[in-house]
Amino acid sequence: MAERLERTQSAGTQLIGRVIVYGLLIAFALYYLMPLFVMITTSVKTLAEIRTGNLLSLPSTITMEPWVKAWGSACTGVDCTGLKGNFMNSVSFVVPAVIISTLIGAFNGYVLTMWRFKGSDLMFSLLLVGCFIPFQVVLLPMAQTLGSLGIANSITGLIFVHVVYGLAFTTLFFRNFYVSVPAELTKAARIDGAGFFTIFFRIILPLSPPIIVVCVIWQFTQIWNDFLFGVVFSSGQRQPITVALNNLVNTSTGVKEYNVDMAAAIIAGLPTLLVYIVAGKYFLRGLTAGAVKG
Amino acid sequence: MNPPQAASNLALTRPRKSLADYAEAALPKIVLGPTLIVALIFIYGFIVWTGWLSFTESRLLPRYELAGVVQYINLFANERWWTALKNLAIFGGLFIFCCLALGLLLAILLDQRIRAEGFLRSIYLYPMALSFIVTGTAWKWILNPGLGIQNLVRQWGFESFTFEWIVTPGMSIYTVVIAGAWQSSGFVMALFLAGLRGIDDSIIKAAQVDGAGPVRIYASIVIPSLRPVFFSSLIILAHIAIKSFDLVMALTGGGPGFSSDLPATFMYTFAFNRNQIGLGAASAMMMLATVMAIIVPMIYSETRRHRRG
């Protein structure tokens, strides 16, 4: 579209236009990168240098001390064992929650498109609402329920919560993907006598890698970055990394160690950032599918 | 026809397959069943449960004797709730406006046959991969008056420069807008860019033949045809704004005092820190009502469109 617009302009205005466009784009790129730059440089400066320098100055000496402290000995509330335990906590509930919710979502999507029955559309609409509710509205009952199930403040409890409230999204992803799979494919298989699971594993699953990637990335990002469920349903040593980071930054006893704060923030953000760098295309696809449709 | 009879009828012709057939026919329902039950209990059941709590005088522990709308009366008599609502209006309005404006501008700029478009796009979008807690932590440091931007600009020679919004009651909510827009505008850019790429070229050509310049074409053809994108971005951003919790917690903690509280932080504080379960439930129900007021018309129009198409 843009190329056609330009043909009507003279060479001079075109050049000026290009300069302005690129200038703006680069300025904005710097603006978006600035916080990341500040985080990284701050995290390797000494406290003395932070006090004498400024936000954008480069570190004159690089120290890894803040990173070591953020990982192993910074105080996140009562105990001072750094983020390593919380990082592992996050891993240990994010991985199962992502796998379980994706699996169930795949089966749900399969049924909702290939094995529709009376009421299955209604069910889908009922489920869709789950994508929108503000989770504040389920927190109090869920806290009670987890308590009476005996899984309050446990990794199991967090897996449970994330699976339950992730299902709406994963089902939506797979349903919208399978809708575009030609029905003839499964019809033919059914005539040949293939059953529910045979069709799923032999025909549908081999078609699914793209949507599985999208779904896994979406769920991973959502659950890793979650703060609300983590802060309400866990405490102390069981807390996920986002909650621990927030505690670390906001417990102000003694000198404020900004470099440790920044190292901790990068540690907390690194897994999702890596996923984004490695699979950005799928990340965006999930974002638009999950958000526009959901 | 009752099932055993049917089974025995079938058994005459195909003795072993009948039971399997029944199981096969029920399988889709069996597979979908757990999810349905989960949704009914943990979404709808819990909404009713919270709704019930909001009509009780529950404080530290939930109680289930109904007490009428006393919590809603308390809620709207609570100065802090009004602050939270006012902040939601300020934050929601500005956050949505900034994201739409920035997103549209970036998308239009990126749509000018740019070299390294993919690279730039991924720079604008990476904040979306971060947790709001990480974003909040980073901006809290950048915006802190002692060593952050204020200090930087003073070192550049503007000695009297002051930028203390983050510690100023009444201004700290605007810092939430700054960090929120930084995080979410790239996403809106992606939506707009997809919209721009979908515009039919022939309309543009026709306008050019008629002698319309680029500004005119953008103002009266391109931007109006992005209406659906505006609409869905608006819904998504409004949804993010109403649910905003982490960002405020990390950036300002709702402070100074409670001057940057939002409904989500209000609910959390009263339900879990101040042992006011009834009041917390009432505020949660108000949040739900707000979200539904935005979402239901959208779902309705979406499904109608699908049915027609």
B148: left (phi over 0), alpha (psi -120 to 50) or beta: beta
Contacts of B199 in chain A (CB under 8 A): 1
Contact A195 B135 (CB under 8 A): no
Answer whether residue B2 shows pLDDT above 60.
no
Give the CA distances from residue B125 to residues A68, B11, B31, B72, B109, in Å, rounded to whole numbers and listed in that order. Answer: 29, 62, 37, 40, 15
Smallest Cα distance from A36 to chain B, Å: 8
| Identity of the residue in A4, A21, A228 whose CB atom sits nearest the CB atom of B246 | A228
Max intra-chain CA distance, chain B: 97
Kindly state the average pLDDT of the residues B232-254: 88
pLDDT at residue A2 in the model: 53
Q: Which amino acid is at A162?
A: H
A227, B246: Cβ pair inside 8 Å?
A: yes
Q: Please indicate if any CB of chain A lies within 8 Å of the CB of B260.
A: no
Average pLDDT over residues B63-76: 87
**pLDDT at residue A5, rounded to an integer:** 53
H and E: helices and strands count for chain A: 15, 0
> What mean pLDDT is reported for chain B?
85
**Global pTM value:** 0.87
- CB contacts under 8 A, B 197-236 vs A, are 199, 201, 204-205, 208, 213-214, 217, 222, 232, 236
B93-105 burial, b at 16+ Cβ within 10 Å, e below that, comes to ebbbebbbebbbe
Angle at B20 between CA B14 and CA B25, to 5 degrees: 115
pLDDT given for residue A223 in this prediction: 95
**Which H helix or E strand runs over A69?**
helix A65-72
Cβ atoms of A75 and A251 closer than 8 Å: yes
Q: Which residues of chain A, if any, have pLDDT below 50?
A: 4, 292-294
pLDDT per position as a tens digit, B7-42: 444 444 445 556 767 777 788 888 888 999 999 999
Contacts of B191 in chain A (CB under 8 A): 288, 292
Q: Closest approach of chain B CAs to the CA of A288, in angstroms?
A: 7
Contact B114 A165 (CB under 8 A): no
The answer to whether B264 contacts A292, with C-beta atoms less than 8 Å apart, is no
The pLDDT score that the predictor gives to residue A184 is 85
Q: Which residues, at least 6 apart from B208, have a Cβ–Cβ distance to it below 8 Å?
A: A4, A5, A8, B217
SS3 A227: coil
For the question of an ipTM over 0.85, the answer is yes
Stated as kind and residue range, the H or E segment containing B289 is helix B277-308
B14 reaches A (C-beta below 8 A): no
In whole angstroms, give the CA distance from residue B309 to residue B223: 24
| Structure-token pair, residue B74 | 């308390």
> Does A228 contact B at CB distance below 8 Å?
yes
Interchain CB contacts (distance < 8 Å): A and B: 279
Among the partner residues B44, B123, B288, nearest to A134 by beta-carbon distance: B288
pLDDT recorded at residue B1: 39
Q: Using the beta-carbon criterion (under 8 Å), do A24 and B32 form an inter-chain contact?
A: no
Distance separating alpha carbons of residues A118 and A257, to the nearest angstrom: 60
Scanning every residue of chain A, which has its alpha carbon at the shortest distance from the alpha carbon of B153?
Answer: A54
Residues of A in contact with B217 (CB under 8 A): 5
Structural domains of chain A in order of their starting residue, each with its CATH number: 2-63 (no CATH), 84-293 (1.10.3720.10)
Asked if B153 has any chain A CB less than 8 Å from its own CB, the reply is: no
Q: Is A120 on the interface with B (CB under 8 A)?
A: yes
**Phi, psi (rounded to 5 degrees) for B56:** -120, 175
Closest CA–CA distance from residue A69 to any residue of chain B (Å): 17
Lowest mean pLDDT among A284-288, B35-39, B234-238, B260-264: A284-288
| Nearest of B262, B287, B217 to residue B88 by alpha carbon | B262
Q: Which helix (H) or strand (E) holds B20?
A: helix B17-39
Nearest-CA distance from A5 to chain B in Å?
A: 6
In this predicted structure, the answer to whether residue B235 has a pLDDT above a threshold of 90 is no
Task: Write out chain B residues lying below 8 Å of A9, CB-based.
Answer: 214
Contacts (Cβ under 8 Å, ≥6 apart) of B238: B92, B96, B294
The partner residues of B56 in beta bridges, in order of sequence, read B66
In angstroms, rounded to a whole number, what is the distance separating the alpha carbons of residues A188 and A193?
9
Mean pLDDT of B185-201: 87
**For residue A20, what are its two tokens?**
């302005």
Contact flag A142-B208 (C-beta cutoff 8 Å): no
pLDDT number for residue A254: 67
Q: What is the pLDDT of residues B143-165, one digit of tens each?
A: 988 888 888 888 888 888 888 88
**Residue ranges of the domains in chain B?**
3-54, 72-308
In this structure, are residues B48 and A141 in contact, taking their beta carbons and an 8 Å threshold?
no
Which residue type does B180 have?
G
Is residue A155 less than 8 Å (CB to CB) from chain B?
A: no
Cβ pair A263, B126 in contact under 8 A = no
Q: Report the pLDDT value the prediction gives residue B76, as an integer from 0 to 100.
A: 93
Taking the CA of residue B83 and the nearest CA in chain A, the distance in Å comes to 18
Please name the CATH architecture into which domain B72-308 falls.
Orthogonal Bundle (1.10)
In a 3-state reduction of DSSP, which class is residue B304? Answer: helix
A47 in reach of chain B (CB within 8 A): no
A242: chain B residues, CB-CB within 8 Å: 131, 133-134, 246
Six-digit token string for A172: 């939506």
CB < 8 Å to B43, chain A: 126, 129-130, 133, 138, 168
Output the six-digit token pair for B70. Answer: 């006393």
Supply the pLDDT for residue B11.
44
CA distances from B261 to A99, A181, B270 (A): 36, 47, 12
Are residues B129 and A107, on separate chains, in Cβ contact within 8 Å?
no
**Contact B186/B124 with Cβ under 8 angstroms?**
yes
Nearest by Cα to B173 from B255, B264, B265, B270: B255
- pLDDT per residue over B72-126, tens digit each? 999 999 999 999 999 999 999 999 999 999 999 999 999 888 888 889 988 998 9
